[in-house]
Amino acid sequence: RSLLALLAVLSGSPFVFPSLGPTAYLLFIAPLAENSSPRNTILGHAIGLICGYAAFSITGAASLPFGIHTGLMTGSFVYWPRILAAALSLSATGAFMVLLRASHPPAGATTLIVSLGIISKPKELVIIEVAVFLLVAQALLINRMAGLPYPIWKYREISKA
């Protein structure tokens, strides 16, 4: 992750984001789990990014900048389009991960980061997916150097002969 942190500092772009921590944890603590495979990691975050951005766009959640609240006198501190975007993005992300058999739990946080407007510019979404690719490449290199049969793409059950 230090490579990604350095890229974030040098570029001023979100190469480090909240759901990257749990992703790194899975890739290095449970590298042989299906959720940790490169396929599930890359597709899971891509699904989360797409569903998060779609929900953010179609619900009108983008009409207020992140962190701005309407106040008690004009409604409440709850901004309903963002609540709807969060619910819609999480349900769509879960459905597509099941449909595509690409379960990666940290991608649920990625979809929230986007649907709530914390990170929502298309350029930033591409950077997030690039960061996921770079982290997976590091996991492949480090886990293989450690002698683990980390998959190049898809999880394969290891036979116990």
pLDDT score of 73: 45
Can you read off the two tokens belonging to residue 125? Answer: 């979404």
pLDDT at 160: 58
| pLDDT tens by residue, 73-107 | 445 556 789 999 999 999 999 999 999 999 999 99
Percent over 70 (pLDDT), the chain: 88
The per-residue pLDDT for 40 is 98
Q: What is the mean pLDDT of residues 26-39?
A: 96
* Mean pLDDT, all residues of the chain: 89
Asked whether the whole model's pTM tops 0.75, one would answer yes
Q: How far is CA 21 from CA 95, 104, 118, in A?
A: 23, 13, 17
CA distance 105 to 44: 8
Q: What pLDDT score does 79 carry?
A: 78
pLDDT at 10: 84
Lowest mean pLDDT among 18-27, 61-70, 126-135: 61-70
Question: What is the per-residue pLDDT across 138-156, written as a single tens digit (0 to 9) for each?
Answer: 999 999 999 999 999 998 8
Residue 24 has pLDDT above 90, yes or no: yes
Residues in the chain: 161
User: Are the CB atoms for 89 and 114 separated by under 8 Å?
Assistant: yes
Mean of the pLDDT values across residues 43-63? 95
For the purposes of burial, counting CB atoms within 10 Å of the CB of 145, is it exposed (0-12), middle (13-18) or buried (19 or more)? Answer: exposed
